[in-house]
Amino acid sequence: MNLAIDIGNTTVKSALFSGSTMKEAHMQFGELEEMLKRCKIKRAIISKSGEDAETEERLRELGIPVLYLNDTTALPITVTYKTPDTLGPDRIAGSVAASHLFTGHNVLKIDFGTCITYDFINQKREFEGGAISPGMMMRFKALHNYTAKLPLIDPMQYTAYELTGTDTNHSLLSGVMNGIKSEVEGIIKEYEARFGDLKVVATGGDSGLFVTLLKSEIFARPYLVLEGLNTILNFNQ
């Protein structure tokens, strides 16, 4: 069995794979610990955007060989990014999975996480680069932290985001939610105009929310980064 772990800025995700098939996925350390006790893990791969010393120490205690994904790791795609050493490993892993899902196509991967990242992989399986913008909660927090009177609101308490906000809370909702919606749709249209045969895949904690708001055809893949990590681990076998 393979174990893939994505240590992000706010969460730690893990998944168990048999070959290329995902058997289970978890979001909490306790769930990972329980899985480690009952499953025979042959090897593991870790992507680190954040820190989680507890998980890494546990793998060392169990003697599980770990591959750390970085800019020197062998990949099934070619990275043409000018500064690969600054490229987040989660972006690499998600791009590997997106390219693997849509072999022979141009692919735009959008990760709705702490930041919203856009990554383009062409039909020749070359990672060219993309864009990074503030994520949903980062935008709400910035509006609150950098002003004197704007409140910090929880967007999950609302089910609609009207274009014209009729009070301060709904104006904030419109600015952030409709702003992200317009941003994403605009970037997709730019890529569609420049590159034909484009597939769009979304992942990240907020992807489920925005995929339903967007008009473009987008494939939702919540565990895309973990799938990519497993693909990389198998490639390095």
Contact 20, 231 (CB under 8 A): yes
Burial of 54 (0-12, 13-18, 19+ CB in 10 A): exposed
Residue 28 phi, psi dihedral angles, 5° rounding: -120, 150
Active site (catalytic) residues: 90
Half-sphere exposure of 163 (CA within 13 A, CB side): 1
Give the other-Cβ count within 10 Å of 22's Cβ.
16
Contact 66, 5 (CB under 8 A): no
| Orientation of helix 89-101 relative to helix 224-235, angle to 10° | 90
Whole-number Å distance between alpha carbons of 169 and 154:
10
Whole-number Å distance between alpha carbons of 88 and 73:
13
Contact 45, 233 (CB under 8 A): yes
Whole-number Å distance between alpha carbons of 132 and 101:
23
Q: Considering only CA atoms, which of 22, 28, 30, 11 is closest in space to residue 111? A: 11
Q: Considering only CA atoms, which of 124, 128, 131 is closest in space to residue 76? A: 124
